Structure 1
Amino acid sequence: MIAEARKAFFVMFGFVAFVWLVQLANYAGDYALSRDYGVVSGDSGTLPHLLTAPFLHWNWAHLESNSGPLFVFGFLAAYRGVVRFLGLSLVVAVCSGLAIWFFERGGADTVGASGLVFGYFGYVVVRGLFDRHLIDTLIGVVMAASFAYLLTVAVPGTPGVSWLGHLGGLTGGVAGAWLFRDRHRKPAGSARSSADAADTVTGAAPAVGSAKPTNRDALPATPTDNPRAALHKELRDMGLL
């Protein structure tokens, strides 16, 4: 996990740096990139721009307001696996862009990374519940409590912002948490339980000269028998134990 966290840091640092470089080029061209590669509701020619609009902004203040949350939530979304994070980013960008394309009114040209911000936020909040990771669940609770105010700009009637893009991104983040959930996670002690069940089915007998231990003289429990073993491992990986 430490190695993945290190990769996540550099991925998000590079991502934010790239968005700022795009903004420099956009500013130098009088924001022609935003006009040419944004998402316009109902315009089929702008559907490919679902993947370009998150990198573009209308002004420096727009970019500055997105950069901090983009880095923080992006890092928290990526530290469990960069490959999974890239798939999540695609899902969020498409969901956010389609919400704008289908439901936005007035033919506005919409750009900005805020859809990704809301998508990563939604993913971080619910990921621990789908993956059954205690640490991720605690992180989700803290993020939800600390940044609940973000939801005020993902509801109808919010002036000056594309609340549809925010709501679509949030929906995409929750959907991504379910799509990319950890399907291979097993409860602690499941391997031993499976082995015991196999012995029962096959009727395997103890070796000659050995006796099956009773509850009184059973061998000490292995670390995997401890229901808190998974939590202890995660804390050790994070350097907290």
Structure 2
Amino acid sequence: MSKQESGAIAREIQTQILVLGGLAALMWITEFIDIFFFRGRLDAFGIRPHSFIGLRGIFLAPFLHGGLGHLIANTIPFLTLGWLVMLRETSDFFVVSIITMFVSGLGVWLTGSPYSIHVGASGVIFGYFGFLLLRGYFERSFAAILFSLVVGFLYGGMIWGVLPIQYGISWQGHLFGFIGGAIAARLLAKPKKRY
């Protein structure tokens, strides 16, 4: 590996750390501001299903959390799955994040209980999971399939989160986030080269 190539890899890793670390820091700063200055009232900016004003939550909800426990539970999978999305190309992370935010948020807005408020990054996290799991199916390359199998082995238990089995958890956000990840996997799939 040449010095130029190793320098490019080092810059890419630095960019990935800055992007993921910056977004995670933004979530933590927002939560601390919400706890200490607003006493949880910022959560009102989350997704409010069937309400026109609730549409603003589609892109705000992932940065809001229902307390430190909720934030801690989302931070580690956000960092790990987000980094796995970035592994091939950092730009994939931005595309997958935007698609899953939109699909997850809109799905919650359309199907959630009318008087509920949905917050948290879990819809986006399930989007990363769906993207990583289904990228191998859409690309059909050995490396992509192997990567999908490894992700399925390590994180396969997450799939139960798309079902309405736990009260107070936005399974709609998880389900539509996963669907958004699948859409992103299809859109970003690199066609197999034919010789």
Q: Cα deviations across residues 137-171 of structure 1 (Å, max 9, x unaligned)?
A: 22211111222221222112432200000001000
| 2:147 equivalent to 1:139 | yes
Counterpart code for 1:31: G
Q: TM-score with structure 2 length normalisation? A: 0.87
Aligned counterpart, 1:130: 138
Higher helix share: 2
Q: TM-score with structure 1 length normalisation? A: 0.72
Aligned counterpart, 2:193: 186
| 2:118 equivalent to 1:110 | yes
Match 1:84 to one of 92, 97, 101: 92
Q: 1:138 & 1:6 partners in 2: Cα distance? A: 26
Aligned counterpart, 2:30: 22
Unaligned stretches of 5+ in structure 2? 1-7
Aligned counterpart, 1:38: 46
Unaligned stretches of 5+ in structure 1? 191-241
Deviation at 1:106, TM superposition (A): 4.3
Q: 2:172 & 2:74 partners in 1: Cα distance? A: 16
Where do 4+ consecutive residues of structure 1 move more than 6 Å?
none
| 2:55 equivalent to 1:47 | yes
User: Share of identical aligned residues, percent?
Assistant: 31
Q: Is the 8 A contact 1:104 1:164 kept in 2?
A: yes
Q: How big is the alpha-carbon RMSD for the aligned residues of Structure 1 and Structure 2?
A: 1.8
Relative contact order higher in (CA < 8 Å, ≥ 6 apart): 2
Q: 2:108 & 2:166 partners in 1: Cα distance? A: 14
Q: 1:106 & 1:81 partners in 2: Cα distance? A: 39
Q: What is the number of residues matched between the two proteins?
A: 186
Q: 1:5 & 1:76 partners in 2: Cα distance? A: 12
